[in-house]
Amino acid sequence: MTTGVLPDAPETVAGRRLFAINDIEFTVAEVAPHARPGGRELAVFPGDAAAVQEAFRRTRGLLTADQLESWLTGWAITADEFVAWTEAPTTTSWTGYVCSGGLDRDTAELASAAAAACALGSAPTDATSFDPSGWVARLMARDVTPEAVDAALARHRLEWTCVRGAGVFARSRAVAEELRHWVLVDGLDLAIAATQAGCPTYVVDGVLADLSPTTLRARVAGARAGELLGPVEAGPGWTLLRLDERAEPDPQDATIRARAQRSVATEVVERAVLRHVSA
C-alpha cells in the first residue's frame, strides 16, 4: 500500500479497522493515503533513545516488555524498527507514522469529516472514495451561530474570567512562607521580595482556564482582586500569586469571542463523532 507521503505500509495491517460510519469500515488502507508530514499535534519525545522509549511507553501505557511487543506486532513494526525510530524520531516511515501519533491524528480528522458529512445528510457510501475536504467547515458554518456562541459564553463565564497578577516561584514552602511574611507583614513589594530571595517571578494575564497548576487555578477562582494567594504547590516548588485584577469575560471582546467560537466548533464536531462514528 503506497501513500503520497509514506513508503509502502505493511499489507498485514492494510485491512485493520480504525473506525466505522454506519456499516462502512474505514481501515488503514483508507486513512494512510491522507497522511501528511509534520504537524504540531504529533508527539515529540526529547532525549536520547532510552528517554524516547520511556516517554513513548509511558504515553501509550505500554509499561511491560510484553505489552510493548504486542503493540508493535499489532502494527507490523519490528523491535529493530522501533529502536531505530527512537534513535531518530521521524514521521517519514510507517514506524514513525504510527509511533509519533500521525496515524491517530489522521484517523481522527477523517472520522470527524465523515461524521460531519453524516450530520449534514450526506453520509459516506464508500470508505475508499470518500473525500473529507470541506465537511467539517460546512458543519461549523451551519452550527457555530451567534446564539450558540452566546450560550457558550454563559456556560464558561467562570472559566473564562480574565485574571491579571504577578507571581513568584520559590524552591520550598518555607521560602514561600517567608516571602508571604515579607509582603503582608513587612510591607515589601512582591517583586522586591522575590529579588531579595533570588526567586524567579512571572506575570499572569489571561483567562482562569489557562492558569496552572490546577491547585492555583482553584484558589484564584474564589479569590478577590488584591489578595495574595499561596503558598500553592507548583511541583517542583511553590508559588505565590498576587491577584491584581479579575473581570468577567466581555462578550464583545474579540479574543474571548474567538475562544467561544472555537469551543462551540469543537463541541459540534465531537457531538457528530459521538453520534455517527463507532470504534
Check which CATH number belongs to the domain holding 243 and give it: 3.10.50.40
Could you give the count of Cα atoms lying within 13 Å of 213 in the half-sphere of its Cβ?
13
CA–CA separation, 103 vs 123, rounded Å?
A: 23
Could you give the CA distance from residue 273 to residue 208 in angstroms, rounded to a whole number?
29
- Inside any domain, residue 144: no
Residue 278, domain member (yes or no): no
226 domain residue, yes or no = yes
Distance (Å, rounded) from C-alpha 35 to C-alpha 243? 46
254 located within any domain: no
Q: Structural domain of residue 182, as residue ranges?
A: 162-247
241: nearest Cα among 231, 256, 249, 233: 231
pLDDT score of 4: 47
Residue 171 lies in a domain: yes
Encode the chain (279 residues) as per-residue pLDDT tens digits. Answer: 444 455 567 889 999 999 999 889 999 999 988 887 654 445 667 788 898 899 899 989 999 999 999 999 999 999 999 999 888 877 678 888 898 888 999 999 999 999 999 999 999 999 999 999 999 999 999 999 999 999 999 999 999 999 999 999 999 999 999 999 999 999 999 999 999 999 999 999 999 999 999 999 999 999 999 999 999 999 889 999 999 999 999 999 999 999 999 999 999 999 999 999 999
In a domain, 206, yes or no: yes
CB atoms within 10 A of CB 117: 23
Tell me what pLDDT residue 2 has: 44
- For position 88, what pLDDT does the model report? 84
- Res 102: pLDDT: 86
Q: Structural domain tally of the chain?
A: 1
Domain-embedded: residue 194: yes
Task: Residue 15: count other Cβ atoms within 10 Å of its Cβ.
Answer: 11
Whether residue 80 lies inside any domain: the answer is no
What whole-number distance in Å separates Cα of residue 97 and Cα of residue 109?
Answer: 15
